[in-house]
Amino acid sequence: MEENIRMRLDLIVKGLAMGIAEVIPGVSGGTIAFITGIYEELINTIKSIDFSLVEVLRKEGIKGFWQAINGQFLLLLGSGMVIGVVTGIFVIGYLLSNYQAPLWAFFFGLIISSSIYIGRKIDQWNAGVLLLVILGFVIAFGVTLLSPAEGTTNYLIVLLSGMITISALLLPGVSGSFILLLLGMYTIIRSQAEMALSTMAMSSLLVIGFFALGCFIGLVLFSRILSYTFKHYKNQTLAILTGFMLGSLNKIWPWRNPASWMDKNTNEIVNDVSVMSKDILLSDEIQLIKEVKVLPSDYLFFDPQITISIVSFLVGLGIVLVLSKFESEG
């Protein structure tokens, strides 16, 4: 009984950590899922959701349906994620305002140790596996350097954007919101969602509907791809995911100054750092597009907090050991 309760609480805590991660720009909930040992179960659970469940529900009832979708896993993990997102909105907002460099230093250390942790799960290293690590690194690093495209409300493009964005959320080291920004769809989806909620305009409802459909299709298809690769090419999959995580470090270096950003109200791209201030940087009116990595001495708008950042980095490095202990006991 106690063991069952502990396992349930463990899942909720892992979901909470994933939810908090999704609030952090540039950090993926998939990363947390991986280092807490639930990534493959999550992918396989999502994979199980298809139209065959209608037949399961008809023949076996709600109990059979619940077991088929791994309902307890989804409920507990989802509950934790909801708590994490709500908590993260307030806690992470405070940390970004007052301890920005230490927060990023923590995630920098976390992802480094997570990459090592995942790399150790590779059973056999060879030239092919090493090349896949490099390939994953190059892809993720390249993504962090891309400039946003111009968005559109074309239904096909919106559908494809949903598929790509939700797929990115399943990959450790790849931020779905950042991918949405690169596609030029961040502001469009945001504004259309606001219009759909406030005015119930049919055009906006259709845009959000196609985006949601794309997310569903992407989730179903990509979970199957990942499930297949883990089953048949586990070492290769782990290698490329390790590269993804290492490449994403370019996005979360603790000391970064803004180079360009987008005004969410006008969709204007601004490149003049002289008009930037801490208040603007922390407001909801802009979306950062490009940042420049600097040394702590050249860090603008925020206190570099070097000592606290070093401690946070070391905590990030060490916390994976605790999370991996949960996995081994789970």
- Strands (E) in 209-283, as ranges, are 256-263, 269-270
Domain ranges of the chain: 2-255+294-329, 256-293
- Confidence (pLDDT) at 102: 93
- Confidence (pLDDT) at 325: 63
Structure-token pair, residue 37:
């040992």
- Confidence (pLDDT) at 69: 80
The packing angle between helices 100-120 and 234-248, to 10°, is 160
Higher per-residue confidence, 157 vs 307: 307
The strand pair at 286-293 and 269-270 is best described as unpaired
Residue 127: phi, psi to the nearest 5? -60, -40
- Confidence (pLDDT) at 148: 60
Q: Whole-structure pTM over 0.75, yes or no?
A: no
Percentage, residues of the chain above pLDDT 90: 9
pLDDT digits (tens, 9 = 90+) for 222-256: 888 888 888 888 899 889 888 888 887 887 889 98
| Nearest residue to 286 via CA among 297, 299, 296, 277 | 277
pLDDT digits (tens, 9 = 90+) for 52-87: 777 777 788 888 888 888 888 888 888 988 888 777
